Amino acid sequence: MQKIVNVLAIASGLVSAAVVASGVFVYVNRDSIVDSIKSQAIEAVTGSLGGGLPIGAPDLSPTPGSASVPSAGLGIPSF
């Protein structure tokens, strides 16, 4: 029975040491971790915006000779 308790105590010590070591690692490298996350977030945002936007938006300008029709909005009558 004593051997089982000793094995559990050693395993518990190893788990505690691993938790402390990972906490120290994150604390020491927190600046590089934050910079990495920021760059990944910026890349995700700019990557999704960069490819689909038309430059100058020529297809949105009205063509000559077409009448501009005011939109009805949300269906709320204007007084």
**Residue 58 confidence (pLDDT) above 80:** no
Q: What is the DSSP string of the chain?
A: -HHHHHHHHHHHHHHHHHHHHHHHHHHHTHHHHHHHHHHHHHHHHHHHHHTTPPSS-GGGSPPTTPPPPPP-TTSPPP-
Whether residue 72 is contained in a domain is answered as no
How many domains does the structure of the chain reveal? Answer: 1
> Model confidence at 51, in pLDDT bands (50, 70, 90)?
low
Please report whether residue 58 resides in a domain. Answer: no
Q: Give the residue numbers spanning the domain of 32.
A: 2-49
Q: What is the pLDDT of residue 78?
A: 65
Query: Which pLDDT score, from 0 to 100, does residue 44 have?
Result: 87
pTM score, two decimals?
Answer: 0.48
Tell me if 56 is assigned to some domain: no
- Residue 59 lies inside a defined structural domain of this protein: no
Q: Within a domain: residue 79?
A: no
